[in-house]
């Protein structure tokens, strides 16, 4: 018999943010209160970093207005610069004078918020931000979460199921938003890939890496293979599926 799972969902940052809890605090007042705090955290991040909200720090900066720096800005900018350097410029949050931090902020914010659930004793959690997952099991040897990877060319079916106990899964591709990812070096959408999924220990980085690898196009596959502690899969535009795992790949 499996533990009952308590689920909840809210629309935040323009995305469905959902949680699944199982164990002692699945549906408890403490579990519900922690979920409410997570939603508040993510709404605060959205208010500061959204490219769509007119009063956010990002929007005000684009208009040349002075505004106090939001919490975590230094960390976000440092992550963005690391990603730019490591991807050879394919991933870049700057487009001339325009700053767009969406490619860093979502995974970073969800990863930080997910840590709240770890304070719930004897409780497993899986927090999803638009389909990218931060998973946790209270017992590291306990039953892992099973994460379905959607087929980008046929979203009604799965291309794989991945067990994750303590770790993260992120996917970038064209299935739901079209060709929204570009190679910052050329300004063009990459060719050859339909989706990239990365599995690792930390959602902040696997989310960045999935986006960067997709921006690199078919060159992103070799780039990912060289990343330590990662595994995942790529779906090509012809439907071919290619899985990889680095020599020291993260094991959930």
How far, CA to CA in Å, does 219 sit from each of 103, 194, 215, 222?
19, 14, 9, 6
Q: What is the pLDDT of residues 195-249, one digit of tens each?
A: 999 999 999 999 999 999 999 999 999 999 888 889 989 999 999 999 988 655 5
In 175-237, where do the E strands start and end?
A: 193-200, 231-236
118 DSSP assignment: G
Please check the confidence at residue 1 and state whether its pLDDT lies above 70.
no
pLDDT at position 6 over 80? yes
Annotated domain spans of the chain: 5-245
What's the pLDDT at 155? 84
Residue whose tokens read 């892992």: 144
Residue 173 has pLDDT above 90, yes or no: no
Q: Is the pLDDT of residue 22 over 50?
A: yes
Which is more confident, 96 or 139? 139
Which residues face 80 on adjacent strands?
none
Question: What is the pLDDT at residue 150?
Answer: 93
Is pTM beyond 0.75? Reply is yes
The architecture in CATH of the region 5-245 reads Roll (3.10)
The C-alpha atoms of residue 151 and residue 133 are separated, in whole angstroms, by 16
Model confidence over 126-164: pLDDT tens digits? 999 999 999 999 999 999 999 999 999 998 899 999 999
- Residue-averaged pLDDT of the chain: 92
Residue 176 has pLDDT above 80, yes or no: no
According to DSSP, residue 201 is labeled S
Confidence label for 178 from pLDDT (cuts 50, 70 and 90): low
Following DSSP, what letter does each residue of 103-117 receive, concatenated?
HHHHHHHHHHHHGGG
In the block, which residue shows the tokens 């902040």? 204
Measured in whole angstroms, the distance separating CA 183 from the mean position of its chain's CA atoms is 19
Paired tokens of 11: 């629309």
Tokens of 9: 């969902």
Residue entry with tokens 């799972």: 5
Does position 88 have pLDDT exceeding 50, yes or no? Answer: yes
Q: What is the pLDDT of residue 96?
A: 79
Helix (H, G, I), strand (E, B) or coil at 240: coil
- Torsion-angle region of residue 27: left (phi > 0), alpha (psi -120 to 50) or beta? left
Average pLDDT over residues 18-30: 97
pLDDT confidence of residue 179: 57
Q: According to the model, what pLDDT value does residue 110 have?
A: 98
Estimate to the nearest angstrom the gap between the alpha carbon of 216 and the chain centroid: 18
Give, in order, the Cα–Cα distances in Å from 94 to each of 62, 98, 134, 189, 207. 11, 6, 27, 16, 18
């Amino acid at each position: 018999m499996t533990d009952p799972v308590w689920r909840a969902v809210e629309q935040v940052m323009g995305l469905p943010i959902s949680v699944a809890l199982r164990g002692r605090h699945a549906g408890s007042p403490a579990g519900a209160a922690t979920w409410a705090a997570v939603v508040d955290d993510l709404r605060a991040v959205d208010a500061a970093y959204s490219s769509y909200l007119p009063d956010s720090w990002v929007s005000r900066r684009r208009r040349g207005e002075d505004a106090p720096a939001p919490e975590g800005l230094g960390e976000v900018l440092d992550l963005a610069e690391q990603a730019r350097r490591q991807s050879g410029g394919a991933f870049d949050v700057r487009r001339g004078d325009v700053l767009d931090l969406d490619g860093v902020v979502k995974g970073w914010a969800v990863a930080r918020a997910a840590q709240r659930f770890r304070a719930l004793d004897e409780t497993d959690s899986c927090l999803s931000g638009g389909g990218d997952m931060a998973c946790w099991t209270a017992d590291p040897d306990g039953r892992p979460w099973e994460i379905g990877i959607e087929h980008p060319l046929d979203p009604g079916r799965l291309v794989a199921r991945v067990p994750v106990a303590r770790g993260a899964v992120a996917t970038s591709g064209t299935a739901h938003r079209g060709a929204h990812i570009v190679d910052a070096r050329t300004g063009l959408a990459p060719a050859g890939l339909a989706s990239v999924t990365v599995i690792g220990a930390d959602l902040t980085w696997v989310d960045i890496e999935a986006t960067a690898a997709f921006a690199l196009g078919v060159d992103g596959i070799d780039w990912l293979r060289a990343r330590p502690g990662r595994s995942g899969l790529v779906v090509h535009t012809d439907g071919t599926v290619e899985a990889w795992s680095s020599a020291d790949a993260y094991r959930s």
